[in-house]
Amino acid sequence: MVGSENSINQARDYLAVALDVPSLQVAEETIERLDGEPGWIKIGSQLFTAEGPAVIALAAKRARIFLDLKFHDIPNTVASAVKSGTRLGASLMTLHAVGGVSMLRAAKEAAAEEASRLGVPRPELVAVTVLTSTAEKDLIQVGVAGSLPDQVARLLDLALESGIDGVVSSPLEAAAVRKRAGENFRIVTPGIRPADSAVGDQVRIATPASAIAQGSSLLVMGRPILMAKNPVEAARAAIAEIEDALGRQ
Ligand code: C5P
């Protein structure tokens, strides 16, 4: 039922706020202001490089941790990084599908192994296919001859073959990914903008409601919430829109 504690909590689980801030102090203020509304907090390379594990310990008090460090290295190194992230308490981590099936599989095994050693739930792993900032000419420059949609499809298939949990996708491609990957696949979509907000540098965008309708299972929102006059109100508005969209499914 829309408006019930259950359905609000379910909607909260679909929202990851991107904590794209420069320091632990600003992170702490921001987390305070969000008042536990989002189910997830996404920590990326800017904040993690600046402040390290302390920021995870801080955010984990209020939400599940999405550690967005987009690992891409030899399988052994990525597996070790995933184990470190698991020990820090990350519930979701990203890696680049272009690292290949052996790297993705090694990461998956490492997450399972470390989680079982610690007796904690296994963190989910999702693959970045082609970054939304990449254009076809950039692919050609790095030696990828096919079209951009072909490259996205190829990398999605690698993610599926490796058995990892999902991919990061533009909300505009989420429906196609959902169709190919089926129900039990995490689709993380950045580029979410409420109908009345500034677009910024994102080009492939959707509203929270339309991202849900397209099959997204985790909506990443940064600036529309962080730069809002009242971030907690902006988060609540997004959660209400998600809840409503879930209710219509
Ligand atoms: O501020 P905004 O809502 O655009 O933030 C989106 C977040 O999602 C940022 O942390 C950005 O790094 C991340 N992201 C993205 N596009 C991708 C992958 C991640 O915007 N393809």
User: Stretch 235-242: mean pLDDT, rounded?
Assistant: 97
pLDDT tens figures, 37-50? 999 999 999 999 99
> Using CA positions, which residue lies closest to atom 13 of ligand 1?
190
- Return the percentage of the chain with pLDDT > 70, whole number: 99
CATH number 3.40.50.170 given to 5-247 = no
Q: What is the pLDDT of residue 197?
A: 73
Q: What is the pLDDT of residue 237?
A: 97
CA distance 217 to 188: 6
Using the predicted structure, report yes or no on whether residue 121 has a pLDDT greater than 80.
Answer: yes
User: Stretch 87-94: mean pLDDT, rounded?
Assistant: 98
Cα distances (angstroms) measured from residue 230 to each of 35, 181, 196? 12, 37, 15
> Using CA positions, which residue lies closest to atom 20 of ligand 1?
190
pLDDT tens figures, 170-228? 999 999 999 999 999 999 999 999 987 777 777 778 999 999 999 999 999 999 999 99
CA distance 136 to 141: 9
Q: What is the pLDDT of residue 100?
A: 98
Q: What is the pLDDT of residue 23?
A: 97
pTM of the model: 0.95
What SS3 state is found at 71? strand
User: Stretch 132-136: mean pLDDT, rounded?
Assistant: 86
Q: Any long-range contacts for 151-155 (C-beta under 8 Å, 24+ apart)?
A: 153/180, 155/97, 155/98, 155/127, 155/129, 155/130
Mutation test residue for ligand 1: of 15, 17, 20, 151, the one with most atoms within 8 Å of CB = 20
Ligand 1 center to 14 CA (angstroms): 15
Token code pair at residue 193: 């903008």
- 10 Å Cβ neighbour count for 115? 17
Cα 50 vs. chain centroid, distance in angstroms? 20
DSSP letter (8 states) at residue 229: S
- Domain-by-domain residue ranges, the chain? 5-247
CA distance 112 to 138: 35
Q: What is the pLDDT of residue 1?
A: 61
What are the pocket residues of ligand 1 if the criterion is a CB atom closer than 6 Å to any ligand atom?
18, 20, 44, 131-132, 168, 190-191, 200, 202, 220-224
Token code pair at residue 248: 């219509």
- 10 Å Cβ neighbour count for 36? 13
CA distance 5 to 233: 17
Q: Is the Cα torsion angle 84, 86, 58, 55 positive or negative in sign?
A: positive
Using the predicted structure, report yes or no on whether residue 153 has a pLDDT greater than 80.
Answer: yes
Mutation test residue for ligand 1: of 45, 220, 223, the one with most atoms within 8 Å of CB = 220
Cα distances (angstroms) measured from residue 227 to each of 44, 224, 230? 17, 6, 8
> Using CA positions, which residue lies closest to atom 5 of ligand 1?
222
Q: What is the pLDDT of residue 33?
A: 97
Stronger pLDDT, 202 or 147, i.e. the higher one: 147
Ligand 1 center to 206 CA (angstroms): 13
Kind of pairing between the strands at 166-168 and 124-128: parallel
pLDDT tens figures, 11-38? 999 999 999 999 999 999 999 999 999 9
Ligand 1 center to 196 CA (angstroms): 18
User: Stretch 133-162: mean pLDDT, rounded?
Assistant: 93
Using the predicted structure, report yes or no on whether residue 2 has a pLDDT greater than 70.
Answer: no
Burial bucket for residue 124 (CB in 10 Å: 0-12, 13-18, 19+): buried
Give catalytic residue positions: 70
